Amino acid sequence: MNLFLFSLLFALQSLPVSGAVRPQKDAPDSFQSALRVEEEASAYTLYEARFPTARPSRFPANNTVWGHLFVPKPPQADGSKPACVLVLPVMAAPNAWIELRFVHAFLERGFAVLWIEMPYQFHRRPHPSQPSGQVFLARTAARLRDNFVQSVEDARRALTWLGRSGLVDKDRIGLFGISLGGMVAASLYSTDDRPKGAVLLLAGADFPSLVRDGSMTSEFVREAGIEEGELRRAWRGIDPSDHREDNRGKQVRLVNAHWDAVVPRANALKLKEAFPGSRQLWVPLGHYSAALHLPWIRGYATRRLAELLGPPASRRPLSPP
């Protein structure tokens, strides 16, 4: 059973030719990274970035973070760098189809977009035969915490990498996350002031009660014998609810579904409480069926990010991804 089967790179002059990987040295954290051109399209350049996880696990494949950075063309007329959106995906989906609907909407608006593969996803699976994200599911509270913290710290390192890449405006980076990706983004934003805002879809706070009451997790938690008290002790300091005062004034937009059984309404409301002053919109239907609102939600998320990061230049329409 998957825990979260939720819906829906420093100079340009020295960039390698497509397919070549160039090691980089980043200080003061001194983590190595590699960058290559993955695709050249008429409206964007797609780079592949790789760097080590900040919290190594016992699985070697999981210890490299893979990122995919779309940079719009043509360059800004004034020579400035584009604002960027860091996209954190759903955990256990078999592909990034949903996220790419948003990536291309943001790109068309003129934003650069980096989406990263989270722990145990895609290239980071311990073995190719395992479904993407499945190993994130842990049978103890401590291991589940470790997996979540690795997700947060990988996203934090992605912010550092973006800031040093020379490809984007390091002072205009926003967060976008869906479902578990939204929860990771919320935890990151609660302890990192670099993002200028966040748009979070189908996410919640108070993780211990969420896994206890959510329709996708409650049975597994019971069968694994994980007690809520164990989760609360393991999760102390990680949940956005633990940082409410630090979050005051942070710019957050939330979209939740009225009849979401995966992320119960109470947990969605707790996420709003964790960010005083945030705005929360509710759409009909549930966690998966909310995908029917995808065109509207995609437009809403793009407009809100333009408000939070400043409006980028208009771009010509892109072909559908």
Q: What is the mean pLDDT of residues 171-185?
A: 97
Which pTM was predicted? Answer: 0.89
Please report, rounded to a whole number, the percentage of residues in the chain having pLDDT higher than 90: 72
Q: What is the pLDDT of residue 10?
A: 25
List of domains in the chain: 12-309 (3.40.50.1820)
In whole angstroms, give the CA distance from residue 212 to residue 266. 12
Q: Do residues 205 and 240 lie in contact, with contact meaning Cβ atoms separated by under 8 Å?
A: yes
**Strand extents, DSSP E, the chain:** 22-26, 31-40, 44-52, 64-72, 84-88, 112-116, 173-178, 198-201, 252-257, 279-283
Give 134 or 287, the one with higher predicted confidence: 287
pLDDT at 238: 95
Per-residue pLDDT of 303-316, as tens digits, reads 999 999 987 655 54
Strand order in the sheet with 173-178: 22-26, 31-40, 44-52, 64-72, 112-116, 84-88, 173-178, 198-201, 252-257, 279-283
pLDDT in tens, 208-263: 999 889 988 778 788 888 888 998 999 899 999 999 999 999 999 999 999 999 99
Q: DSSP character for 316? A: P
Q: Quick check: 143 and 134 in contact, CB under 8 A?
A: no
The pLDDT score that the predictor gives to residue 69 is 98
The mean pLDDT of 1-20, rounded to a whole number, is 31
- Region 160-185: what's the mean pLDDT? 97
Q: How many angstroms separate the CA atoms of 7 and 294, rounded?
A: 11
- What is the predicted pLDDT for the residue at 67? 98
Mean pLDDT of 144-165: 95
Tell me which H or E stretch contains 229: helix 228-235
| Candidate from 38-47, 186-195, 268-277, 308-317 with smallest mean pLDDT | 308-317
Q: Which of 5-9, 25-29, 136-140 has the lowest mean pLDDT?
A: 5-9
pLDDT for 222: 84
Q: Which is it for the CA torsion 185, 200, 248, 237, positive or negative? A: negative
How high is the pLDDT of residue 111?
97
Of the given ranges (85-89, 93-97, 263-267), which has the lowest mean pLDDT?
A: 93-97
Q: What is the pLDDT of residue 319?
A: 46
Q: Is 3 helix (H, G, I), strand (E, B) or coil?
A: coil
Question: Could you read off the pLDDT of 14-33 as tens digits, one per residue?
Answer: 233 333 333 343 445 679 99
